[in-house]
Amino acid sequence: MNALLDFTDLPRFDLFTPEQVTPAIAALLADARAVVQQLENASATPTWNDFVTPLEAVTEKLGRAWGVVGHLNAVVDTPELRAVYNENQPKVTEFWTELGSNLKLFDKYKALQASPEYQSLEPARRKIIDNAVRDFRLGGAELPEDKKPRFAEIQEQQAALATRFSENVLDATNAYELIVEDEARLAGLPDDAKQMARAAAEKEGKPGWRFTLHFPSFFPILQYAQDRELRKTVYTANATKASELGANPDWDNTQNIVDILRLRDEEAKLLGYRNFAEVSLVPKMATSPAQVIGFLEDLARRARPFAENDLAELRAFAKAELGLDQLEAWDVTYASEKLREQRYAFSEQEVKQYFPEPQVVGGLFRLIQNMFGVLIKPDTSPRWHDDVSFFRIEKQGQLIGQFYLDLYARNGKRGGAWMDDARGRKNLAGGIQTPIAYLTCNFTEPQVINGVRKPAYFTHDEVITLFHEFGHGLHHMLTAVDELGVSGISGVEWDAVELPSQFMENFCWEWDVLQHMTAHAETGQPLPRALYDKMIAAKNFQSGLQMLRQVEFSLFDMHLHYDYDSRGQQSVADLLADVRHRVAVIIPPAFNRFQHSFSHIFAGGYAAGYYSYKWAEVLSADAYGAFEEAQGDPNRLAETGLAFHREILSVGGSRPALDSFTAFRGREPSIDALLRHNGMVQSGQ
Ligand SMILES: [Zn+2]
């Protein structure tokens, strides 16, 4: 029996071997292609049951099996697994590409959309059909025949340019090295950063300390190095990488940026839109580029006085305490760190002593149980590693979802934190298929001291990360939608998908929640009020400057894809300078080429979408505001939790995110809570 072909219940991690991958994927691809062909050739008007149901069934199996392979490749990578993963990935990608451009299937979806049956379908099913038609259209399916070859060419060129863009960034990052031989120049650097640089030099058989442009290597220099020239050297190298000012002209992204923008513009015009920003927004919650720009400019206006204040304080501090009369770009991070240390006087290490894993995870579960009226219990399942735990969520005695928790970093596990789905909720003939989630983090593993395994201790940032990913998990698992295509996070607009995750982060700052999820390593005491007050005070350190920075990136991205004329007189650098002139309070030096490594928009999925971070934060902050308003009233608090569950978490992508938000809050989103949470409320207002 091939473990990947067992779809009866939980994934069979106990029976899995890498040799099973190639035959399983071949069989599933063959099945899927056979079904697609049958559906293509069916002559009758398509119906939900004869068309969508069988197509979904066969593609879901492929998705689930490949999901298991992808998950294992990410969390327990071995040479054997990586080889079969790389061997099969192109085959799977090819199938999805084929499916997305299959005109016969597109015609069937359109016929179904136009049929009398469509009107009688429940909204979730209509949404799935509408989404499919929309995605085919954006994929060029409706173009006249003579335009299709050019459209396909544009897609290929864009993919190649995006790959080239990120390769240039990576190559420029990898190629840079700075060897420091005089230890005195490293004064101020923490020991772990120095040790890492020393080990990097030794590995290359070099003397001294070796720094690269990888973030954990160079950033401590900007943050801690007292040697101003050293900071300037590293700042300059990082700010010019992959540009015409960088080390190697082969890695210059200048022309790639121009070409990518030109192709996106051409694609948009072929599809009948005025610009690429309009294309990007079709499947999103925001309705027009002008709306997004208005939102960002408003945010900039409100954040500006706070950012100006942040900067004035920093300048005064740098002058008085650090002897820096002129605050340069390479001084900002350094001076900020010194100011933070002086002002808040507590360390991450001190806070960490209060967050042992059992207390944190228990506190998280307790919060969720109270807020959403569910029960979380340990459960059993085959696992991929001994450190993984498995749980079930019940509501009124009924199983509604299950999840794996894989918390610690280890060799062979990809960095970062994420939520992924092993299976989505859907209606089956025999009942409901309940959702299953993978929750993956990379926290420090428990230490064994004198043969005794101590609990893992988390930093406050790690606790926030856990709550964030759990928010995505709740969105996936607490869904009540029975249609796979729009249950859980499926079909949720890109700029709204971070609502539940960012929402959950807020609870990591609540005194009552923290009291129940902290216990000091030695005394067992919960977090003391004095330390909590310092954490709260430090929370919004320089939030004005940070907000303006995000707005600057977002506005630059939006204008590039909206009203920037790639054939006109203005260069990309001019546009960036113009945006900075309008919104930034810290203007980087003229040689700064940040845009040449802005991979989010040139090589990731964020083109005309970078604003999503702030957009979703408005939603999450405002949603959390409802809980703040209910503070102190247990009944109202309980009702608010149930309403959040009912109107936001349970509906998934079955209706527009704006409708869900409005149903929960009783009004449209407001920016006020976001400003308040960032300490941006002007006195007297
Ligand atoms: Zn997230």
pLDDT tens per residue across span 218-268 = 999 999 999 999 999 999 999 999 999 998 999 999 999 999 999 999 999
Query: What's the pTM?
Result: 0.91
> Beta strand pairing status for 398-408 and 389-395?
antiparallel
CA distances from 245 to 177, 240, 253, 383, 672 (A): 16, 6, 11, 50, 42
Cα 366 to ligand 1 centroid, rounded to whole Å: 22
Whole-number Å distance, alpha carbon 440 to ligand 1 midpoint, is 12
Question: If you measure from the C-alpha of residue 502 to the centroid of ligand 1, how many angstroms do you get, rounded to a whole number?
Answer: 7
pLDDT of residue 191: 87
The count of other CB atoms within 10 Å of the CB of residue 310 is 24
Write the pLDDT tens digit of every residue in 115-127: 999 999 999 999 9
Ligand 1 centroid distance, CA of 74 (Å): 17
Please say if the pLDDT value at position 185 is more than 70.
Answer: yes
Measured in Å, residue 498 CA sits from the centre of ligand 1 at: 5
Per-residue CA distances from 284 to 74, 229, 289, 291 (Å): 29, 45, 11, 12
Ion ligand 1: protein residues whose beta carbon lies under 5 Å: 501
pLDDT digits (tens, 9 = 90+) for 276-320: 999 999 999 999 999 999 999 999 999 999 999 999 999 999 999
Please tell me the distance between residue 548's alpha carbon and the centre of ligand 1 in angstroms: 21
DSSP string, 621-652: HHHHHHHHHTTT-HHHHHHHHHHHIIIIITTT
CA separation for the pair 97, 300 (Å, rounded) = 40
According to DSSP, the β-strands at 431-433 and 398-408 are unpaired
In whole angstroms, give the CA distance from residue 435 to residue 432: 9
Measured in Å, residue 127 CA sits from the centre of ligand 1 at: 24
| pLDDT tier, 325 (very low <50, low <70, confident <90, very high otherwise) | very high
Give the CB-side neighbour count of residue 98, counting CA atoms within 13 A: 13
Q: How many CA atoms lie within 13 A of 139 on its CB side?
A: 16
CA of 417 to the centre of ligand 1 (A): 9
**Ligand 1 centroid – CA 472 distance (Å):** 7
Active site residues: 469
**What string of H, E and C letters represents the secondary structure of 475-536?**
HHHCCCCCCHHHCCCCCCCCCCCCHHHHHHHHHHHCHHHHHCCCCCCCCCCCCCHHHHHHHH
Distance 593 CA to ligand 1 centre (A): 28
The residues, any chain, with a CB within 8 Å of residue 552's CB and separated by 6 or more, are 579, 580, 583, 584
Query: In angstroms, what is the span from residue 249 Cα to ligand 1's centroid?
Result: 36
* pLDDT of the residue at 98: 87
SS3 679: coil
Find the 280 Cα to ligand 1 centroid distance in Å. 20
Which token pair is 127? 């949404």
Q: Compute the residue count for the chain.
A: 685
Going from the Cα of 468 to the center of ligand 1, the distance in angstroms, rounded, reads: 6
Q: Which pLDDT score, from 0 to 100, does residue 214 have? A: 87
H/E segment holding residue 266: helix 254-270
Residue 182 CA to ligand 1 centre (angstroms): 42
Q: How far is CA 420 from CA 83, 477, 596, in A?
A: 22, 11, 31
Please tell me the predicted confidence (pLDDT) of residue 684: 45
- Residue 320 CB-half CA count within 13 A: 7
pLDDT in tens, 550-607: 999 999 999 999 999 766 778 999 999 999 999 999 999 999 999 999 999 999 889 9
Eight-class DSSP state of 244: T
Kindly report the average pLDDT of the chain as a whole number.
94
Task: Report CA(402)–ligand 1 centroid distance (Å).
Answer: 19
608 Ramachandran zone, left/alpha/beta (phi>0; psi -120 to 50): left
Q: How confident is the model at residue 683 (pLDDT cuts 50, 70, 90)?
A: low
The residue that leads in pLDDT, 449 or 305, is 305
Tens of pLDDT, residues 474-533:
999 999 999 999 999 999 999 999 999 999 999 999 999 999 999 999 999 999 999 999
Q: What mean pLDDT comes out for the span 360-379?
A: 97
568 CA distance to ligand 1 middle (Å):
37
Q: How far is CA 182 from CA 177, 185, 204, 209, in A?
A: 16, 6, 18, 9
pLDDT at residue 193 is higher than 60: yes
Is the pLDDT at 177 greater than 90, yes or no? yes
What confidence tens digit (pLDDT) does each residue in 76-115 have?
A: 999 999 999 999 999 998 899 889 889 999 999 999 999 9
